[in-house]
Structure formats: C-alpha cells, structure tokens
Structure 1
Amino acid sequence: MFKLTVSAAALAATAVLSTAALAQDWRTEMPVLRIGLLGGENDADRLRDNACLKEDLEELLGVQVDLFPAPDYAGVMQGLLADQLDYAQLGASSYAGIYLQDPEAVEPIFVAAEADGSTGYFAVMYARADSGITSLEEMQGRSLAFADPNSTSGYLVPLAELTRGGIDIESYFSETGFGGGHEQAVVAVLNGQYDAGVTWVSGVGDPAEGYTRGNLRSMIDNGLLNMADLRIIWQSSQIPNGPIVVRTDMPAEPRALITDYLANQLQNEPECYYSTSGGDGMGYVAVDHSFFEPVVEMRRMQTSSR
C-alpha cells in the first residue's frame, strides 16, 4: 500500500477542476487507465513488476487500471497513436517514432535518474564469456542480435555509432537479426543462436552485477542470468533515458495526480520504483520534448535513409 502524498500543484489542479467535475466527472471520460508495457521481457515478469503500479494508481485515481504487455515495442507505439493506451514507459527511439508520426499524440513527463544522478544510459554489446570474443574487432564475420527495431539501445544507437565508426553492418557481420526483445536476445546469445547481442545498462555500478539498472540487472533479479556467463565487449556513448509518456488529451486532474505520484514514488514506494524503473536510481526527473530532440533527429535520418 503506497503512502498518498499529493503536492500543492496536484491539489490546486483538483480544486480548479472541482466545479467542472460536478457537471461531468473525468472518470466518465476515462473510466479505465490503460498502461502499455514494452516488449522485451516475458509477460509474467512484466505484469509482476508493474502490479504495484496498477494497485497504487487504482487507489489514487479511483478507476480501473489495466496493464497491456505488448509483444514488441511497435505494439505500445501503435496503441498510443490509436488512443488505445493512455500511459507507457518508452525508450527514446520509440518516443521519437511516435513523435514523427504524430507530434500531438503523447507528451513525455519524466525520465528515471540513474544512481549517480545522471539521466542517460548506454548500449552495450555482449558475447558469451566462453566464446573467446573480447572486442568489437573480433566480431567481424560473426553474427549479431539486435533487440527490437524500435529500441534505442537495442538497435538505433548501435547501428548509428557502428556506421559512424566505419563499419558496414551488412558486410562486417556474418548475420544480423532481431532477437524479439532485450531479454530474448540475451537468451538467444546464451543458447548459441547468435555470437553477440546489444542491450541497455545504466553504466553505473558493478558490471559483474549487471550494473544498477537495465536489462541485465532485471534478468539477474528474475533469476534468468548469471553475469559470469556474459562478457561486455563494446559500449556506446551516453543515450538519453527513455520517457514516461501520457496521452496529451488525458484529463488534467488524473494527469496531475499521476505526475505527483511518480515524483514521489522513490520516497514513498521504493520497491515499486525499483521494479517498474528497472533497478536502482534517484527517482524521476521532469522532462519535455526538447530532451529527446537529438534522438528524434537520429531516428528521422535513419528512416529517411531506408
């Protein structure tokens, strides 16, 4: 059970809207809050990790909250664009993909801060520890698993940075493909289907423990990975953390309440923050579209080059 802490801003928003609410409660307009969960992790783990968020927001808002685990990133993106979802935690590239289709569909409100206070993370390339592969140079002629075509760390940034480094993806690697998500790509590498894969990590903390936050950390927490089985062989430059977004047409009162809840989640519900944000951190930091403009431009260039 979370401790309800409503800020002055949220209370003010509620007070301003109270007269209008007498005529029509916003719950009539939005009887269910629909939360999209990105693919990349098995459904059972995603639903379990976000069960606390569902419980807290149902109590706070007084409406039903439904969780929708999509099989891939595109499912959540399309759900937001089609007004079938109201809220989601996205990667920066997924947000950019939505923005390029409809700039008015969603609005970013927060990104998670890492354990050192930074608001960025890294893409890493990993191989099996027993593969003998210790560097990117040793990946020439070997196979690489990307995570998802709409993933920032699992495709967009590695593709861009490797290309800028003079590597032609098609000729350098013997084969590239998509693992079906970050978790699935790691499993594919462990099973010998690919020689290496790419995923996301906070870059903070002990690599032997999967860092403080990220896909590797989550897999370790869920008993799916022993980091002794993997070796990190490449790391990208820092990437802007992905946003929590809400649809821009969400009524003002639930938006204010959700915003306040997230701003105080680390303090009031640290275990829920850990499970929903992917590991340790320093809470959520408010952002707007300008935070993601470099990734939007990168995605625009990638799309136009196809």
Structure 2
Amino acid sequence: MTKWIFSLMTALTLVVVTACGENNADNSAEEAAAEASANENSSEASNEDNGEADGREDWPDTFIFGLLPTEDQAELAKRFDPMVEYLEEYLEMDVEIYNATNYTALIEAMANGHLHASTFGPFSYLVANQRANGEAFAIPVNDEGGTLDDIFYYAQMITLEEHGIDSLKDIEGNSLAYADPASTSGHLFPKAMLINEIGLTLDNVDEFPSDVVFSGSHEASLYSVLNGDVHTAGVCSTCIERVFDRVEDHENFDQLKVFHESEPIPGGPYVIQGDLPDSFKETVTQAFLEMDQDEKGAEFLEVNGYLGGYFEIDHDTYNVVQETADALGMSPEELLE
C-alpha cells in the first residue's frame, strides 16, 4: 500500500510540474508577443514623428518660394508675409522667401535644388520648364468671382479710323510701334502674328511696315497712336484698359480702334520643381487653391489684388506661348533677354 501511495504522489507531482512548465512557456510566448507589439508601436510612432507615416519622408524640411523683386524687398516681404504664415500652417513646415535679381537667377536656383517654387512670366516659364523641370501648377485671378478664362489677356493691334487700317495686311507701308523688345503682348506676340498669319519671316517682318519703333511702354504706344506719331501699335489689352480713364479726353480717343487681336495669352504661372515628391506637389497645389478659405490666406489675396483666388493650370496652358517662341525662332537665352 505504501509503495502504491508513493507511486501515485510521484505521478501527481510530474503532472503539476509539467503543467507549470507549459504555463511558463505560454506566459513567455505572450510576453514576447507583447514586447514585439510594443516595439512595433514605438517604431510606428517614431516614423510618424519623422513624417514617414503620412508619406512626408521625402518632403523638404523648409519650403522655399522665389520672388522677383519688382519693388523694394522690404515692401515685397510685407505683402507676402500673410502667404508665408498661411503656408507654414497648411504645410506644417517652415516657409522661406527667396529674392532673386532676375528670372535667370530663379531658374538656376530651381535647377540646383535651392528653390522649390516661384512665380514666372509666360516666356520665362518655358525656360524654367526646360532647364529646371519646372511645372506650372496655379495662377491667380484678379476679379472676385472670376473664372479660369480670366487668367488670359490679349495682344491687340490698334490704330485710328482715319488711317483705313482694318487688318494685319494693311500694316504694310505704315509705321508700327512696339512697347519693349522683351514685352510679351507689346512686341513678341504682335510680331509672331505677322509671321504666322500673313506669311512673313524673321528676315522680312521688320521691313513690312514703313517704320518700326519701340515706344518704351504700352501707354506710350497708345499715345503714339492717339497723337498721330505712328499709324498702328501692338499693345496689351489689360494694360490699355487700365489707362482709358487717363486718355478718354484725348481729341482722337473716339477714333481709336482695335483691328486685330491675338489668341488668348495666359498670365504668369506659379511653378514648382517637378522632381519633388508627388505628395508634396499635390499638397502645395491644394494649399494655393484653398487659400481663399483661410483668414491669413484671404488677407494675402486681398493685399495683392488676387480677389478671385487661384486656379489650377498645367503646361498645356502655355502651348500658345511655346508656338509663339517657335515662330520667332527664339532660344532659351533669347527668351530671357
């Protein structure tokens, strides 16, 4: 009997020991799984802190936006301060303004990765697209409640009724004024119209009129026509509209007429460097498109006269500008002169 009881106690002891071992193994497995989960959560939190969880890992640390200083830099910075504040909050990053002396400097900075986005003119954008992989993404509209059509303006050919000029062909043998050699609508587009629409060439386009002069500005060209100094002139549609109130008392104002108009010309675009991450480019675009919905953004739009906010555009918007450059046989260097 004693031996039987001893054997039974031994067997029970083995069962208990075995059960304890299994429980310890189960507990170890659970602890290992919990530790792995904690490590994973810690890693995810770390990644989120680094911007990886939301696809920001390749974003720049600071968004650098370029401006051509068309006025005193202090005044320019004051006008763009609300935009900087708005973008910093929207993008959740620092935003810096990069002031350049000319478009060439902006393009080189973008090509070298020192500049992420900037404003450009229609022709300088073509060079930024070619040299720095710049992509047009947005454009401001001046009129409140405006549409995408409001981003366009026109090169117009003007004259006085008394000269009997009704078409581009009638310019032959008459004097012609351009605004400035680098003017898009006051020189380049009017000259391209003569080449494309009546079959002139770069070699003879300046010989078609009896005389070609550069007035220095759109307003000066308008006065040259009104005063009878030249028979016709190429001018910017919006530029002339802005000075009508100053010239409507001129004795020849009632004779003034537009006898030819170019295809719509897009205004200068906002351009972003194309090699940046798609998620970053898309977010920047949305920031500009939604700017009118924010207090600081709306302040910037009002101060700068962009009452219609921003509209999204792309490279195709500037096909007409490229066609004009091609017609004039202009190289990238000449486009910037």
TM-score range normalised by the length of the shorter chain = 0.5 to 0.7
Match of 2:85 among 37, 55, 68: 55
**CA displacement at 1:247 relative to structure 2:** 0.7
C-alpha contact (below 8 Å) 1:146/1:178 kept by paired residues = yes
Task: Determine whether 1:292 maps to 2:318.
Answer: yes
Match of 2:65 among 16, 23, 34: 34
Q: Distance in 2 between matches of 1:296 and 1:243?
A: 14
**CA displacement at 1:160 relative to structure 2:** 1.3
C-alpha contact (below 8 Å) 2:137/2:270 kept by paired residues = yes
Amino acid at match of 2:174: Q
Q: Distance in 2 between matches of 1:275 and 1:133?
A: 43
> Which segments of 5 or more consecutive residues in structure 2 lack a partner in the other structure?
1-44, 249-255
Change (3 A) 1:264 1:156: same
Change (3 A) 1:34 1:285: closer
Deviations 1:210-257 (A, max 9, x none): 4xxxxx4xxxxxxxx674238774642212344221112335565344
Match of 1:170 among 192, 198, 206: 206
User: Number of residues paired by the alignment?
Assistant: 255
Q: Distance in 2 between matches of 1:174 and 1:79?
A: 41
Partner of 2:264: 238
C-alpha contact (below 8 Å) 2:265/2:320 kept by paired residues = no
C-alpha contact (below 8 Å) 2:177/2:221 kept by paired residues = no
C-alpha contact (below 8 Å) 1:124/1:198 kept by paired residues = yes
Describe the SS at the equivalent of 1:285.
Answer: strand
Task: Determine whether 1:88 maps to 2:140.
Answer: no
Change (3 A) 1:298 1:127: closer
C-alpha contact (below 8 Å) 1:27/1:63 kept by paired residues = no
C-alpha contact (below 8 Å) 1:146/1:155 kept by paired residues = yes
Partner of 2:37: none
**CA displacement at 1:200 relative to structure 2:** 5.7
**Larger radius of gyration between Structure 1 and Structure 2:** 2
Match of 2:246 among 216, 222, 228: 228
Match of 1:21 among 42, 47, 51: 51
Trace 1:261-300 onto structure 2 (pairs within 5 A): 261-268=287-294, 269-276=297-304, 279-281=306-308, 283-300=309-326
Q: Distance in 2 between matches of 1:97 and 1:256?
A: 22
**CA displacement at 1:88 relative to structure 2:** 1.8
> Which segments of 5 or more consecutive residues in structure 1 lack a partner in the other structure?
1-14, 180-184, 211-215, 217-224
Trace 1:245-256 onto structure 2 (pairs within 5 A): 245-251=271-277, 254-256=280-282
Partner of 1:159: 191
Match of 1:97 among 104, 119, 127: 127
C-alpha contact (below 8 Å) 1:96/1:299 kept by paired residues = no
C-alpha contact (below 8 Å) 2:65/2:98 kept by paired residues = yes
Deviations 1:178-217 (A, max 9, x none): 95xxxxx34765898x975633639xxxx7xx4xxxxx4x
Describe the SS at the equivalent of 1:118.
Answer: helix
Match of 1:68 among 65, 74, 99: 99
**CA displacement at 1:49 relative to structure 2:** 4.3
**CA displacement at 1:260 relative to structure 2:** 2.1
**CA displacement at 1:262 relative to structure 2:** 0.8
Change (3 A) 1:228 1:304: closer
Partner of 1:201: 238
Describe the SS at the equivalent of 1:170.
Answer: coil
Q: Distance in 2 between matches of 1:93 and 1:33?
A: 22
Amino acid at match of 1:80: M
C-alpha contact (below 8 Å) 1:148/1:178 kept by paired residues = no
C-alpha contact (below 8 Å) 2:221/2:235 kept by paired residues = no
Q: Distance in 2 between matches of 1:83 and 1:200?
A: 37
The alignment yields a C-alpha RMSD, in angstroms, of 4.6
Change (3 A) 1:232 1:97: farther
Amino acid at match of 2:281: R
Change (3 A) 1:80 1:169: farther
C-alpha contact (below 8 Å) 2:135/2:271 kept by paired residues = yes
Identity of aligned residues (%): 20
Q: What is the TM-score of this pair, normalised by structure 2?
A: 0.56
Change (3 A) 1:177 1:274: farther
